[in-house]
Amino acid sequence: MARLDITDLSKRYGGQWAVENVTLDVPQGEFLVLLGPSGCGKTTTLRMIAGFVQPSGGAIRIGPRDVTDLPPWKRNTGMVFQSYALFPHMSVAANVGFGLEMRKVPKAEIAPRVAEALRLVRLDRYSERYPRELSGGQQQRVALARALAIRPDVLLLDEPLSNLDAKLREEVRIEIRELQQRLGLTTVMVTHDQEEALTVADRLVVMAEGRVRQIGTQQDLYERPADRFVASFVGRSTFLEGEARPFPQRGRARPRLRRQRARRLGARAQARTARHRAGGGDRQPPARPRRDPVLSRPDDRSPCAALARRPRRGSPAEPAGCSDAEGRGRGSGRMGTGCRHAVCRSGVTWR
């Protein structure tokens, strides 16, 4: 377990930058996830950390050592490949112990370390089986045990769950996270699955076109995205195009839509305001008095012209009938119940 420091790491193929000036600081015991679309350079970055790809520029430090120019077997990094890369002619125990044999570990020490690694991933009962006799999830755990057996300073995971079905993927990623926390391993994982990244990561690195767009926690990426790409790639977002302009009075900023204003006065209200200002009034015109549609006096053209005037306050009203042809209460001293007018249906008695 050690700290990982990457400074201005770059990789160029011909005239194309696959990775450009990537700088990362991974504290000891942290689970860092490189997240981004296909072709963004995240796997190339992981392979340069492991030593399988020689960088074009920059530096890689694991703990106090500069490992930029060291071969993979001298970096003490454990890597789980996307395809697992298990030897089909070797048993589970032989696959797990292969890395120890390449490092010239004494045979007396290999057996207990292999047993310990298989016990961590709960495969100690399958040590004599071959990869073809295991399920996809079990093969993935064998690859993980092989990486853990060498006791790496940094654990590297290259989309380790992409070949599993949805249910098994959820179970295995929880197991990987629990194992990483229990052992305190400094871990860097590559994935393009947002749910997977948000579940297991302590911090996330969003990459696009070979560059780092933003580094932060899940909350940072959701609530404070660095740019439009981060906002659109992480989660679901709704974008409103606009520009911020200051208030002339207070100096505050307000959003103004380009195509349509959020609030628009009608032509009649604007004309009334202009007339009021021309007459020397205040800046804001007085509010127009509201009229009650029920108690308003009907005009002569209304079928309910028989309703003469408002009821007097404090005195009982005399009954009057509706002259509408559809009225049923005319002459009975009550308002018509069949009239189609709101005044008549309201039940208000007129004199």
CATH of the domain at 138: 3.40.50.300
Where a domain ends, among 213, 233, 253? 233
Distances (CA, A) of 130 to 62, 163, 289: 34, 19, 90
Return the closest-CA partner of residue 9 out of 50, 38, 37, 39: 50
Within this chain, do residues 58 and 159 fall inside the same structural domain, yes or no?
yes
Q: Are 214 and 307 part of one and the same domain?
A: no
Residue 308 and residue 208 share a domain: no
Residue 245 inside a domain? The answer is: no
Q: In this model, does residue 228 exceed pLDDT 80?
A: yes
Do 8 and 148 belong to one domain? yes
Cα atoms in the Cβ-side hemisphere of radius 13 Å centred on 202: 17
Residues 215, 125 within the same domain = yes
Count Cβ neighbours within 10 Å for each residue of 167-183 and write b for 16 or more, e otherwise: ebbeebbebbbebbeee
Put residue 282 in one of left, alpha, beta given phi > 0 → left and psi -120 to 50 → alpha.
Answer: beta
Q: What is the DSSP string of 269-333?
A: HHHHHHHHHHTT--SSPPPPPP--TTTSPP-TTSTTTT--SPPPTTSPPPP-----TT-S-TTTT
Decide: 74 and 67 in contact? Cβ < 8 Å: yes
Identify which has the larger pLDDT, 343 or 114. Answer: 114
Residue 336 lies in a domain: yes
Nearest to 29 by CA among 4, 10, 59: 4
Please check whether residue 255 lies inside any domain of the structure: no
> 218, 233, 248 — which closes off a domain?
233
Residues 6+ apart with CB under 8 A from 296: 343
CA 281 to chain centre: 53
> Has residue 28 got a pLDDT over 70?
yes
Residue 306 has pLDDT above 80, yes or no: no
In a domain, 119, yes or no: yes
Question: Is the predicted pLDDT of residue 15 greater than 50, yes or no?
Answer: yes
Report for 25-29, 120-124, 194-198: range of highest mean pLDDT: 25-29
Q: Are residues 208 and 299 in the same domain?
A: no
Within-domain flag for 243: no
* Strand 154-158 to 77-80 pairing: parallel
200 and 58 assigned to the same domain? yes
- Given this model, what pLDDT does residue 215 score? 94
Q: Are residues 300 and 179 in the same domain?
A: no
> Domain for residue 246, yes or no?
no
Do 210 and 129 share a structural domain? yes
Based on the fold, state whether residues 48 and 179 are members of the same structural domain.
Answer: yes
Q: How many domains does the chain have?
A: 2
Backbone angles phi, psi at 328, to 5 degrees: -115, -5
Cβ pair 95, 142 in contact under 8 A:
yes
Report the distance separating Cα 255 and Cα 97, nearest Å. 63
d(CA 292, CA 289): 10
Residue 190: per-residue pLDDT: 93
Same domain membership, residue 330 and residue 221:
no
Tell me which residue range forms the domain holding 29: 4-233
For the ranges 11-20, 28-37, 92-101, 264-273, the lowest mean pLDDT is seen at 264-273
Which of 176-190, 216-230, 265-279, 331-345 has the least mean pLDDT?
Answer: 331-345
How far lies 114's CA from each of 59, 107, 109, 179, in Å?
33, 11, 9, 16
Show which of 192, 213, 233 is a domain's final residue.
Answer: 233
Please report which confidence band the pLDDT of residue 48 belongs to, taking 50, 70 and 90 as the band edges. very high
* Strand duo 4-13 + 57-62: pairing: antiparallel
Residue 332 lies in a domain: yes
Same domain, 216 and 68: yes
Res 256: pLDDT: 53
pLDDT tens column, 120-178: 888 889 999 999 999 888 888 899 999 999 999 999 999 888 877 778 888 888 888 98
The answer to whether position 258 is within a domain reads no
Which range among 82-96, 148-162, 234-248, 331-345 shows the weakest confidence by mean pLDDT? 331-345
